[in-house]
Structure 1
Amino acid sequence: MTVSASDATLHALQAWGASRRIAIVHDWLVVQGGAEKVLDALLQAFPAADVYTLVDFLPAGQRGRLAGHRVVTSALQHWPLARRFYRHLLPWMPHAIEQFDLSDYDLVVSSSHCVAKGVITHPGQWHVCYCHTPVRYAWDMKEAYLRDAGFSGPVAWYVRRVLGRLRQWDHFTASQVDTFIANSANVSKRIAKYYGRHATVIHPPVDLDAFTFNPEPRDDYYLAASRLVSYKRMDLIIEAFGHEGRRRLKVVGDGPERKRLEKLAAAAPNIELLGYRPDGELQRLMARARGFVFAAEEDFGIMPLEAQACGTPVIAYGRGGSLETVIDEGSEATGVFFHEQTPAALLGALERFDSLAFSPDACLAQAQRFGIARFWQRWIDCLQLGPSDEPFSCM
């Protein structure tokens, strides 16, 4: 029986982890997003690992490999209204994450976009932080966060004070991490700027087997999909398509912005807001769409790659992680960029998109560069698993 390179890579990681006690620390488990897909791949590589997280409200149908793991939550899990307002517990999160006792583990992997990297480890343990981003609302997105939240007066003063203290704590705890891994070159630069640390880049994995490649002609709609939160800029996409009125748009997702976006789209018959859709249905919509529209400035952003895995080209905001995942020029182009977060800029990109022909095979080839086998191989490179089976820092 032939063993594929992917299987051999996974087995090497699993064999290395089998003789070690491993803990994975994840900020919170509430919805399935990009960070949770990375967590799933880590759990596949380290099937005996325990998981530590501030709160765990992930529904049974979305738990995947978590179902087979011990999950330890913090005291915040039991606070009143924590399920609905967990983000409001930010002032208490640093203290809560520091209360986990990880002294029994050899390797601690923090999967961090907020406070997970702040866990306390001890000499003799190896703390590897897979950093999705330094805390966005404490650093470069602080003003946008305050503006979007509508804080004013004493509340704004208090929130600024909380974010200032979080920023100090975030910078200090970066010195306690042994090895940083960034999910993109974009995030690696931010780690260098805010923490003064080097980070190896390991891009999040695309599970290519989960997507159906479609080389056939497409339907006449465009697709946008994400959690409906303000920084994803679904409002920009809806405004652009609503103003133009000719191109069809389907929007998949749910979140706090949903009611506002429904009002925004109410007068546009060419726009459908479909709400949450299971993975299988979302993938079918991706595989039939003329193009996937992505307006957020993401640290990485895995959905444009998932669209390309279906052979679907992308119209993306040309900043952040999109610059690493979408090819905007040449014979192997997989999409187009727009360079301002405005409806006019997006409409201009759509005009250019419609004038070009994109190869589904080129889109698939781009997605394959980010496959899960490469993710595991990069971890092996980072851990430097050699004949001695001993780990060394990949700094």
Structure 2
Amino acid sequence: MKIAIVHDYINQHGGAERVLEAFMELYPDAPVYTLISDLSKMPDAFQRAQIHNSFIQKIPFAKTQYKKMLSLFPLAVEQFDLRGYDVILSTSSAFAKGVITNPNQVHICYCHTPMRYVWDLYHQYMEELNNPLFKWYLPKVLHKIRQWDYVSAQRVDHYIANSHNVANRIKKYYGKKSEVIHPPVSSEQFYLSDVTEDYYLIVSRLIPYKRIDLVIEAFNKLGWPLIIIGDGYDRKRLESLAKSNVEFMGYQPDQVIAKYYSKCKAFILGGEEDFGITPLEAQASGRPVLAYGKGGALETVISGETGYFFAEQSVDSVIDALEKISTASFDTAAIRHHAESFSKDKFKDRIQQFISSKV
């Protein structure tokens, strides 16, 4: 059985890329097709992989300006010639599921979410645009992409959703059923610490829908120390909101992140996530999580045992929950044990069983 893997972009090491890495470990001989890659930002496993980029990769400045080439992505992904493979395994939150296959092939898509910027977050994205030209032009582009997204979603033979939250979106926007297999957490990379230091922690891309601004405003009022690890185009705006008790550390390697997880008072998740791997990484470090009570966090955090939820995306709601979690006691070993139920080995077993049942 010959397998090809298709992934949207290989230019950051986030939760989707950790799923891709697990697929690459399961099927080490499988080539990986992607719209664009920047291997300088990826771990060693990706340096050894057979990665095939689309024609987008050859366009000048594509590595840094690829988002401006959005209208070309459907064409680019449809140019991948996958006729030599029996199974196509796509891992997609955007375009990878749109590859063209023939009736003798099986296309299984591990869906992180339907495209949020053309579906459930469309109006939020439009509201955040400041450039008048983009405000006029982008809705026309996204209207066409929304149509393509629905049509291309019908090409998939079998869907796996990364959460029940995403399974509901797949049913809503694509009219397709899916099986839920939660993404893995590499719990062996994280550890318990005997020391808890005086800070709370965010590990995230710095983009608006993560609602880090909301958390910053709450910490500004409380004056408590908050450390933010990660980078993104919203960083300057967030830094302008923050007082001196909030520290931005930018991008950090995995070893540094693991150290900060292990010693934080609690990990904070301000936005609604499709699934959200970082809360599980924090729990693998034995640390409690404070999360917005919607989306994927409801599937990974056990209220009162591994953390708490805040009910509304308001400063007062976050502050109330912070004051609650700051005085609560947690069993760090029990928190880690919960995270271990999302292990990579269990994930691989379920993926293999699913593929075997469909081929």
TM-score computed with the length of structure 2 as normaliser: 0.97
Q: Which residue of 2 aligns with 1:297?
A: 272
Q: What does 1:262-341 align with in structure 2 at a 5 Å threshold?
A: 262-265=239-242, 268-329=243-304, 333-341=305-313
Q: After superposition, give the CA deviation of every residue in 1:1-21 in whole Å (9 maximum; x if it has no partner).
A: xxxxxxxxxxxxxxxxxxx22
Total equivalences in the alignment: 359
**Residue type matched to 1:352 in 2?**
K
Structure 1 residues without counterparts, runs of 5 or longer: 1-19, 385-390
Task: Return the alpha-carbon distance in structure 1 between the equivalents of residues 39 and 162 of structure 2.
Answer: 23
Structure 2 residues without counterparts, runs of 5 or longer: none
**Residue type matched to 2:279 in 1?**
P
Q: 1:212 pairs with 167, 173, 191, which one?
A: 191
Task: Return the alpha-carbon distance in structure 1 between the equivalents of residues 249 and 275 of structure 2.
Answer: 25
Q: Offset at 1:380?
A: 2.7
Q: Offset at 1:212?
A: 1.3
Q: 2:47 pairs with 47, 67, 91, which one?
A: 67
Task: Return the alpha-carbon distance in structure 2 between the equivalents of residues 365 and 291 of structure 1.
Answer: 17
Q: Secondary structure at the match of 1:220?
A: coil
Q: Which residue of 2 aligns with 1:383?
A: 355
Once superposed, which parts of structure 1, at least 4 consecutive aligned residues long, lie more than 4 Å away?
none
Q: Which residue of 2 aligns with 1:79?
A: 59
Q: What does 1:69-148 align with in structure 2 at a 5 Å threshold?
A: 69-148=49-128
Q: Offset at 1:352?
A: 1.1
Q: Which residue of 2 aligns with 1:4?
A: none
Q: 1:155 pairs with 113, 116, 134, which one?
A: 134
Q: Secondary structure at the match of 2:248?
A: strand
Q: Offset at 1:64?
A: 2.8
Q: 2:31 pairs with 50, 53, 56, which one?
A: 50
Q: 1:38 pairs with 12, 16, 19, which one?
A: 19
Q: Do the aligned partners of 2:2 and 2:85 also contact (CA within 8 Å) in 1?
A: yes
Task: Return the alpha-carbon distance in structure 1 between the equivalents of residues 206 and 82 of structure 2.
Answer: 35
Q: What does 1:5-24 align with in structure 2 at a 5 Å threshold?
A: 20-24=1-5
Q: After superposition, give the CA deviation of every residue in 1:268-305 in whole Å (9 maximum; x if it has no partner).
A: 23221111111101100000001001111110000000
CA gap of 1:65–1:318, structure 2 versus 1, over 3 A, is same
The answer to whether 1:392 aligns with 2:355 is no
Q: After superposition, give the CA deviation of every residue in 1:205-230 in whole Å (9 maximum; x if it has no partner).
A: 0011111123x241111111111111
Q: Which residue of 2 aligns with 1:230?
A: 208
Task: Return the alpha-carbon distance in structure 1 between the equivalents of residues 238 and 275 of structure 2.
Answer: 24
- What is the CA RMSD across the aligned residues, in angstroms? 1.4
Q: Which residue of 2 aligns with 1:168?
A: 147
Q: Offset at 1:252?
A: 0.7
Larger Cα Rg: Structure 1 or Structure 2?
Answer: 1
Task: Return the alpha-carbon distance in structure 2 between the equivalents of residues 223 and 194 of structure 1.
Answer: 34
Q: Offset at 1:74?
A: 0.8
Q: Secondary structure at the match of 1:204?
A: coil
Task: Return the alpha-carbon distance in structure 1 between the equivalents of residues 64 and 100 of structure 2.
Answer: 28
**Residue type matched to 1:378 in 2?**
R
Q: Secondary structure at the match of 1:290?
A: coil
Q: Which residue of 1 aligns with 2:166?
A: 187
**Residue type matched to 2:118 in 1?**
A
Q: Do the aligned partners of 1:232 and 1:297 also contact (CA within 8 Å) in 2?
A: yes
Task: Return the alpha-carbon distance in structure 1 between the equivalents of residues 90 and 12 of structure 2.
Answer: 18
Task: Return the alpha-carbon distance in structure 1 between the equivalents of residues 189 and 75 of structure 2.
Answer: 38
Task: Return the alpha-carbon distance in structure 1 between the equivalents of residues 313 and 61 of structure 2.
Answer: 35
Q: Do the aligned partners of 1:40 and 1:64 also contact (CA within 8 Å) in 2?
A: no
Q: Offset at 1:359?
A: 1.1
Task: Return the alpha-carbon distance in structure 1 between the equivalents of residues 270 and 262 of structure 2.
Answer: 19
Q: Offset at 1:202?
A: 0.8
Q: Which residue of 1 aligns with 2:237?
A: 260
CA gap of 1:318–1:263, structure 2 versus 1, over 3 A, is same
Task: Return the alpha-carbon distance in structure 2 between the equivalents of residues 28 and 383 of structure 1.
Answer: 23
Q: How many percent of aligned residue pairs carry the same amino acid?
A: 45
**Residue type matched to 1:261 in 2?**
L
TM-score computed with the length of structure 1 as normaliser: 0.88
Q: Do the aligned partners of 1:23 and 1:50 also contact (CA within 8 Å) in 2?
A: yes
Q: Secondary structure at the match of 1:27?
A: strand
Q: Offset at 1:151?
A: 4.6
Q: Offset at 1:88?
A: 1.7
Q: After superposition, give the CA deviation of every residue in 1:294-348 in whole Å (9 maximum; x if it has no partner).
A: 111110000000000000000111111000010113xxx1001012112211111
